[in-house]
Structure 1
Amino acid sequence: MSNFKVFVGIDISKESFSACAIHSPEEIIFEEKFPMDSHGFKAFIRKLSTFPKESILIGKESSGCYYVNLFVYLSQKNFNCVVLNPLIVKGVQSMEIRKTKTDRSDARRIAFALYTAQHSLPQKSFLSHEFRELARERERLSQQIARLKNDIEKALVVLFPELERRVNIYTEGILRLLEKYPSAWALKTAKTSDIEQILYSKRGRALSVTAQQIKQWAQDSIAQFFPIREILLQSKIKELFFLEEQLEVITEQLKRSCEEAALCQDIELLKSIKGIGDTTAMHFIAEIENINRFSSPKKLIAYCGVDPTVYESGKFK
């Protein structure tokens, strides 16, 4: 990233954004404020139009979400956009004697940080940042689903313990059945034909249990009548279906993003490691960004936070 001649720092708020363009810390090209709308976007591009696009590097500090539309717009116009680690900007700030903080001064500090760190910035860091957000959203959904499944299992220990112990309750047929009849008590009055219709109306994993068996377990169950718990279980099952659908959407988008960013070869390389699949590989790439940022395996391990550390006190180690 050493061919850049113009460094543009941007500080963004909900209604406007401030921009500072420099050739160097000693040579400021312009400092200006623009409205956060299509007129402001176009006016900003006109300001930059006197310079070749390949010579311009535009950056902002990693915070908030107001920048997304502007950076997507600029990227579509083939401008080079990066999102800076706040620590880089803070380092520039600490060199100043006056501790002023305004939108204009923040934009200037970001421009100075771009100039200072231009040789060590990862390529495509804006795209990587968005990719990372997508991967983290997938991880958040996965954690929500895990907690929800735990709640469902706890509910069934009370509402239908015999079913929870004997079958995989997370097949679609079983979940649909529990959504309709959320307890052994409810299933006692259900027709066997109705149970069978729900169990086998959807394609999925083959069930190792019959409608007759479930009906018998319900009739012999130790579970008592808890109407409020039944309502809560139905609500959690509906939420589980929704979250699993969202997880599938996010996962597919991650895969498409990998294809668009030509990361398929990297993913296949990571998958050659035993125990690594598509999901782990995509999350790894999202968090690591450019592997060339790390000059040694030890630095990568330290960045991931999985290196062992020594704790020593007196005779204890």
Structure 2
Amino acid sequence: MLKDMEKPMQPQVSPFILGVDVSKDSLDVCLTRKNDGALQHQKFNNNREGFQRMKAWMKHQGCEAGTDTLCCMEHTGMYTRQLVHYLLARGVHVWLESALQIKRSIGMVRGKDDKVDAQRIARYALLHQQQARCLSLCGVTLERLKDLQASRNRLIKALKSIKGTIQELLPIDPVSAKTLEQVNRKAIKGLEKSKEQVEEKMQEFIAKDGELKRKYDLMTSVKGVGKVLAISLLVYTQGFCRMDDGRKLACYCGVAPFEYRSGTSVMGKTGVSKFANKELKQVLHMAALSSIRNNGEVRTYFERKVGEGKSKMSVLNAVRNKLLHQVVAVVKRGTP
């Protein structure tokens, strides 16, 4: 199993650029050459047979679909997984880029068409390939952890929905609330049991992967960092191969403060950006609260800053930042 999940591309320029717009059932593929910039488009099915036809079509265009090719596509979750694995197994450089990054680099556009989107992705990759961050085969463990984490989140939402309805109804109509509790008792127990089994499976997969287990143990050695935050960070940073800088990780989680000023007329408050991973931010928020309750040093820091007149949310955000920087530090240092 390959461990380097995302790394900067080598300085050399790929002679062929492949832009792919991925949907559930189909792939819109645009192939361009570094020399002339000519665009060739074709549509294929998003399955093994379609991948083989795509490879044959690329070979007909003079592209070997190997190390001579850079393939750029947007993050579309599970729909890209099979294609990414197929291309990486053949040595193709695969670059998963943010859809927002591509969209903003193009400027104002009107309408939406899969063929045009593939062309735009290919042009973007051609212009910015020196900044490409290419993948290798993701560890099987990380992929399974990601799937289990998504399943856990769905189970938690279902439990909150059922329990929340009962709690809201209890002060208004106790008889009806108790009836709902009785008829949903088995469902609640079943969901809680499934949640426990999912968490056990996550621990099993981590225990089987020595490198992930080492990083997991390092993260959980930080007071306030529990198993939920540790696994979330492993999944979203791809084992800290995709993101290993404290400031960048804080920005990704939406806890890095930014100034809002311009000249003498715009003097807004320093605040965090709304462009963030909201799910990871929520988990980090709960970890920060736990750290304030259980870590004497953090609690002293929090009380001191609040006593100095700082708002509680501002200090809490600083605690979230400290947690992230501590996590990154212990992982990079390799000691608890």
Q: Which range, TM-score by smaller chain?
A: 0.5 to 0.7
- Tell me, yes or no, if the aligned pair for 1:20 and 1:108 is still in contact at 8 Å: yes
For 1:119, the aligned partner's letter is Q
1:105 counterpart = 2:116: yes
Identity %: 24
For 1:287, the aligned partner's letter is Y
State the shift of 1:152 in Å: 5.5
Q: Which residue of 2 aligns with 1:168?
A: none
C-alpha separation between the residues in 2 aligned to 1:88 and 1:253?
Answer: 35
- Tell me, yes or no, if the aligned pair for 1:138 and 1:250 is still in contact at 8 Å: yes
C-alpha separation between the residues in 2 aligned to 1:245 and 1:56?
Answer: 47
- Most deviating of 55-64 and 107-116: 55-64
1:56 counterpart = 2:57: no
For structure 2, the 5+ residue unaligned runs are 1-8, 260-267, 271-310, 312-336
Q: Which residue of 2 aligns with 1:306?
A: 255
Indicate the RMSD between aligned Cα atoms, in angstroms: 4.2
Q: Which residue of 1 aligns with 2:50?
A: 40
- Most deviating of 273-282 and 138-147: 138-147
Q: Name whichever structure is richer in strand by fraction.
A: 2
C-alpha separation between the residues in 2 aligned to 1:256 and 1:77?
Answer: 31
The 5 A counterparts of 1:259-274 are 259=208, 262-274=211-223
The 5 A counterparts of 1:61-80 are 61-63=74-76, 66-74=79-87, 79-80=92-93
- Tell me, yes or no, if the aligned pair for 1:24 and 1:112 is still in contact at 8 Å: no
State the shift of 1:262 in Å: 4.2
Structure 2-normalised TM-score?
0.56
Q: Which residue of 1 aligns with 2:3?
A: none
Check 1:66–1:287 CA distance in 2 against 1; reply closer, same or farther (3 A cut).
closer
Q: Which residue of 2 aligns with 1:121?
A: 133
- Most deviating of 285-294 and 271-280: 285-294
C-alpha separation between the residues in 2 aligned to 1:22 and 1:244?
Answer: 51
Q: Which residue of 2 aligns with 1:195?
A: none
- Once the two structures are superposed, residues 62-100 of structure 1 have per-residue CA deviations (whole angstroms, 9 ceiling, x without a partner) of 2476444444554566655443211221134229xx857
C-alpha separation between the residues in 2 aligned to 1:275 and 1:10?
Answer: 42
C-alpha separation between the residues in 1 aligned to 2:37 and 2:205?
Answer: 38
1:246 counterpart = 2:246: no
C-alpha separation between the residues in 1 aligned to 2:147 and 2:130?
Answer: 23
- Once the two structures are superposed, residues 157-181 of structure 1 have per-residue CA deviations (whole angstroms, 9 ceiling, x without a partner) of 899xxxxxxxxxxxxxxxxxxxxxx
Structure 1-normalised TM-score?
0.59
For structure 1, the 5+ residue unaligned runs are 160-223
- Once the two structures are superposed, residues 20-67 of structure 1 have per-residue CA deviations (whole angstroms, 9 ceiling, x without a partner) of 123438434742111344432220132346526344333322247644
- Tell me, yes or no, if the aligned pair for 1:54 and 1:80 is still in contact at 8 Å: yes
C-alpha separation between the residues in 2 aligned to 1:23 and 1:290?
Answer: 34
Q: Secondary structure at the match of 2:19?
A: strand
C-alpha separation between the residues in 2 aligned to 1:21 and 1:83?
Answer: 16
